Amino acid sequence: MYDHFEIVLNAVSKTFGKKAALNKVSLKVKKGSIFGLIGPNGAGKSTLTSILATLSLPNEGTVKISDLDVVSKVNEVRKKVGVTFQQTTVFSTGTAWENILIAGKMYGIRTSKIMERGEHLLKEFDLFQVSNDLVGTYSGGMKRKLDIAISLLHKPEVLLLDEPTAGLDPESRITFWKIITKISQDEGTTIFVTTHYLEEIHHLATEIALINNGKILDIGTPKELINKLAADQIEIHYHKLDLASIYKIEEYISDLKEVVSHEIKPTALTIITSHGQQILSELLRYLIQSNVEIEFSELKQATLNDVYLINFNEKGAEQ
């Protein structure tokens, strides 16, 4: 399925004044795959998306989409790319059809083709029934779906989605990802998506890159990233603790050098560690000695969310 790379970045840097928004970023996205770029606020996700969309120029390095250089082949690249940013770009004062017609004309598509493709996409995105209503009456989720339908009008080979589910409720997010997965399968579109919500794309993404402070921290399939971490997750639930007890436990855990990250709440604690069994035994002994009434404990393999937390707490903080 993935016989070649659709997007290739080689040592790409972008600076704003003294700020390096991207710092020698290199990555490859396989054709037809769903690639997730994950990182906290200010990591460089939108900057990278803008460069891929030919809306911003890199200061250094090369970026190719379908073997076309995004700097010297802007017009060809634009024909191959559809993009949706965080802010909706649809006109609230028009209907979905009016928005589609305007966008289709801007792409230079013939009216009959716009109508045919528009109807297909409106049905795919479950907007056909309301396609003659003013977009101003749509919910945020509906507007977002229309945005993406429009970015797919010219059948792009690559769809760039910059935080497409920001501000959507959980149900709309699930529906949204179902549609995107279907588009990827039906049309073979390569999907490059940035998000904060790791859990959303965990099961969808073919590969994930973690970015912070403009640098790629790691790249791999979700499984590879979890395996590389080689960590366990410990969860211990207990009867509600007072603040003084929480502080004491916090102090004890902070001294355990095999613990890579931890979170203590009044009724439970979670720890990520490379030595699960050993730390669990030590911790249970300590808690029992401290008269904590334990309800249950669990030892599991770390999750992709743990990979995120560890990368952005540890490596991210170093930079």
Ligand X SMILES: Nc1ncnc2c1ncn2[C@@H]1O[C@H](COP(=O)(O)OP(=O)(O)OP(=O)(O)O)[C@@H](O)[C@H]1O
What are the structure tokens assigned to 74, written together? 């802007």
String of DSSP letters for 90-118 = S-TTSBHHHHHHHHHHHTT--HHHHHHHH
* Residue from 33, 47, 189, 273 binding ligand X (CB under 6 A): 47
Nearer to ligand X, 14 or 143 (CB): 14
Stretch that binds ligand X, among 39-47, 181-189, 237-245, 293-301 (CB under 6 A): 39-47
CA 24 to chain centre: 20
Stretch that binds ligand X, among 15-23, 73-81, 184-192, 232-240 (CB under 6 A): 15-23
Nearest distance from C-beta of residue 247 to ligand X, angstroms: 33
Nearer to ligand X, 43 or 159 (CB): 43
Helix (H) or strand (E) holding 316: helix 316-318
Amino acid residing at 319: Q
Stretch that binds ligand X, among 40-48, 178-186, 264-272, 294-302 (CB under 6 A): 40-48
What are the structure tokens assigned to 317, written together? 């903080």
Nearest distance from C-beta of residue 305 to ligand X, angstroms: 17
Nearest distance from C-beta of residue 166 to ligand X, angstroms: 8
Stretch that binds ligand X, among 36-44, 57-65, 94-102, 267-275 (CB under 6 A): 36-44
For residue 150, give every residue at least 6 positions away whose Cβ sits within 8 Å of its Cβ, in sequence order, or none: 89, 90, 99, 100, 103
Report the 10 Å Cβ neighbour count for 4.
11
Stretch that binds ligand X, among 13-21, 77-85, 106-114, 244-252 (CB under 6 A): 13-21
* Residue from 32, 39, 164, 222 binding ligand X (CB under 6 A): 39
Binding status of residue 19 toward ligand X by CB under 6 A: yes
Binding status of residue 70 toward ligand X by CB under 6 A: no
Q: Is 93 exposed, middle or buried (0-12, 13-18, 19+ CB in 10 A)?
A: exposed
**103-134 CB burial, b ≥16 within 10 A, e <16:** bbeebebeeeebeebbeebbebbebbebbeee
Nearer to ligand X, 125 or 176 (CB): 176
Nearer to ligand X, 140 or 266 (CB): 140
What are the structure tokens assigned to 21, written together? 């928004």
Site residues, ligand X (CB under 6 A):
16, 19, 21, 39, 41-47
